[in-house]
Amino acid sequence: MSTATYAVKPGYNKGGKGRFTRVAWPCEFEFSEEHPPVLHVHHCPSSNGWLALLATIISAVLAQVIAQATGFMVFPGLIIWYLIINAIRKNKVDFDLSQVQQVVADAKKKEISVLGTIAGKETWVGLKCRDQFSSIVDRLKQSGKVSVTEGKVQTSQLGMIIVLVVFVILIALIIVGVATSK
């Protein structure tokens, strides 16, 4: 009755077409002689960013009202609200790897992508395995319960595009603000 666990890091890649969900640390593969392999991850709903933005706006308005009355203005910013909301809304998700739709292993990048279901939606989850990649893939194949496809994991570009667009908009707003203040 031995159990082996391998801690891995969340990745940014998916194994094929379809939606991609970024998971949060800690992530680990668990192998047991009695049960099929299991992947444990933590998932933060994507709506957390919007909730953090809403909380920031509300707290900024409240801070303005308090500042007018007391002359003191302090309020948590977007990043602080995002961290608080993520901590509250983080869910543990366990994938029975014998039941998932697909497992893709990329030996070049040393990453594994799993196509499973999170919050009722079929999605890819990427994992960086580094030094443990070969051991994890071997254990998955030896279990006889998981079909591992060797292939190339694909980078999910949507998040990077959104970050770049927001960054460019912020730079433009700063330049406009500096130009109009002179």
> What would the pLDDT profile of 98-108 be if each residue is shown by its tens digit?
899 999 999 99
Mean pLDDT of 124-153: 89
What is the rounded average pLDDT of the residues 39-51?
85
Q: Which secondary structure element, helix H or strand E, spans residue 109, and what is its range? A: none
pLDDT tens readout for residues 63-106: 888 878 887 777 777 788 888 888 888 889 899 998 999 999 99
Rounded Cα distance, 160 and 137, in Å: 29
Is the per-residue pLDDT at 139 higher than 70? Answer: yes
Task: Tell me the CATH class for 3-44+90-156.
Answer: mainly beta
**Average pLDDT, integer, range 157-178:** 84
Mean pLDDT score of the chain: 85
* pLDDT, position 52: 86
**What are the residue ranges spanned by the domains of the chain?**
3-44+90-156
Q: Is the pLDDT of residue 1 over 60?
A: no
Whether 21 contacts 124, CB under 8 Å: yes
What's the rounded Cα separation, in Å, for the pair 27 and 140? 16
How many Cβ atoms from other residues are within 10 Å of residue 119's Cβ? 11
Residue 19 structure tokens = 């939606």
pLDDT digits (tens, 9 = 90+) for 2-11: 788 999 998 8
Model pLDDT, residue 29: 92
Q: Which of 90, 101, 110 is nearest to 22 (CA)?
A: 90
Quote the pLDDT of residue 157. 66
Chain position carrying tokens 């998955």? 140
Mean pLDDT of 109-124: 89
> Taking the CB of residue 114, how many other CB atoms lie within 10 A of it?
23
Look at phi and psi of residue 180 and say left if phi exceeds 0, alpha if psi is from -120 to 50, else beta: alpha
Nearest-angstrom CA–CA distance, 150 and 55: 44
42 pLDDT higher than 80? yes
Number of residues assigned to the chain: 182
Query: Which pLDDT belongs to residue 111?
Result: 93
Q: Do the Cβ atoms of 76 and 85 come closer than 8 Å?
A: no
